[in-house]
Amino acid sequence: MNQNEAVQQNSKPRRVSKKKGKALNNPPVKRLLLPTVVYLIIATQIPFIVTIYYSFQEWNLMRPDKGVTFTWFTNFIKALSAPSFYEVAMNTLILTTSVLMICFVCGLLLALLMNRNFVGKGIVRTMFISPFFVMPTVSGIIWKTMVYNPSFGFSAYFANVFGVAPYDWFTQNPLLAVIFIISWMWIPFFMLILLAGLQSLPMELIEAAQLDGANRLQQFFNVTIPHLVRYIEVVVLLGLMFILQVFGEIYVTTSGGPGFASTNLSFLVYRTGFQSWDVGGASAIGVITVILTIVMMLLMFKVLRRMFKEEQA
């Protein structure tokens, strides 16, 4: 058996047994799932329907005398015609793609490292995972005060060591500063998912590749990567979904500034709704953000599918 046959044999989808299908169609099982379905509808779909409703309303909390009036697509037109919207959309695209690339590359390298046996592996793994469990606001404050501060942060210390002027990250390059903070938090998540994929790789595939004379690099691209396709798709799509919703790190570090230099779409919803008190405008931007998120996820899924199909072909 050569390595390509082994990969194809391992990647064949498993059929769901008839017993499992009957279990899912069993009325008692459906009754057990009903509370979860009801909760998900109440927690996710009803708020989104309310958001869609308010996106067609003109409602400013600073002008209660005007009340709530139906305005059709006025809020969407105002949002899309504002120059700041396209700057914010570009910030969101740059932030999301940059964080995904950094997290995937670093997460894969760390997963390959943690897939080996060495002394102190448990301690090192705990240290690598710990940033993922830090709250977004806490991580933002840590980086703002201990790393990026131009007076007493780590960046200022190393600048003094090398005899260069301290770099004020939040003034000179705020978006890049936010990208590093978010990447630091999400690299462990990528590492854990990819490590699970590496640990599920059957050794028979590696042995078959070695018997065929494949070197380490060929084994990685022809055996390991095809096996990780499902895991890569899951981690990239989940990462995309959550990174598009980033808010806390921006709020405690830059507040979206200077101007709109580090504002993403999620933070623009906050600025419109809780600084300008424009509920209708914030709802319209929220609906646009959801639509753009779905479009980006579908495009990313197609790109990943096409890329891995070309590699396997």
Q: Would you tell me how many other CB atoms lie within 10 Å of the CB of residue 137?
A: 14
Give the residue from 130, 101, 234 showing the smallest Cα distance to 188. 130
Within a domain: residue 70? Answer: no
pTM of the complete model beyond 0.85:
no
140-154 mean pLDDT: 90
Within a domain: residue 183? Answer: yes
Task: Please name the residue ranges forming H helices in 72-202.
Answer: 74-81, 83-114, 121-129, 136-142, 154-161, 169-172, 174-199
Task: Give the C-alpha separation, 104 to 235, whole Å.
Answer: 9
Q: What is the pLDDT of residues 44-58, one digit of tens each?
A: 888 889 999 999 988
149-155 mean pLDDT: 87
Task: Give the C-alpha separation, 236 to 230, whole Å.
Answer: 10
Task: Give the C-alpha separation, 33 to 14, whole Å.
Answer: 24
pLDDT category, 16, cuts 50, 70, 90? Answer: very low
Under DSSP, is residue 24 helix (H, G, I), strand (E, B) or coil?
Answer: helix
Using a CB cutoff of 8 Å and minimum separation of 24, what contacts does 178-181 make?
Answer: 178/95, 178/246, 178/249, 178/250, 178/253, 178/254, 178/262, 179/94, 179/95, 179/98, 179/99, 179/102, 180/143, 181/139, 181/140, 181/143, 181/249, 181/253
Boundaries of domain holding 236: 3-15+83-312
Number of domains in the chain: 1
Our CA angle for 262, 263, 264, nearest 5°, is: 120
Structure tokens at 212: 């065929």
Task: Give the C-alpha separation, 41 to 119, whole Å.
Answer: 48
Summary mean pLDDT of the chain: 85
Q: What is the pLDDT of residues 81-110, one digit of tens each?
A: 988 999 999 999 999 999 999 999 999 999
Contact of 136 with 128, CB cutoff 8 Å = no
103-120 mean pLDDT: 91
Q: What is the DSSP letter of 20?
A: H
Within a domain: residue 105? Answer: yes
**What is the chain's Cα-based Rg?**
24
Within a domain: residue 35? Answer: no
Our CA angle for 39, 43, 44, nearest 5°, is: 115
pLDDT beyond 80 at 4: no
Structure tokens at 191: 């590492």
Contacts for 303 with CB less than 8 Å, ≥ 6 apart: none
- For the chain, what percentages of helix, strand and coil (3-state, to nearest 5) are there? 75, 0, 25
pLDDT for 299 equals: 86
Which CATH number characterizes residue 223's domain?
1.10.3720.10
Within a domain: residue 43? Answer: no
pLDDT for 26 equals: 64
193-207 mean pLDDT: 88
Within a domain: residue 37? Answer: no
Within a domain: residue 292? Answer: yes
Structure tokens at 294: 């779905």
Within a domain: residue 293? Answer: yes
pLDDT for 192 equals: 93
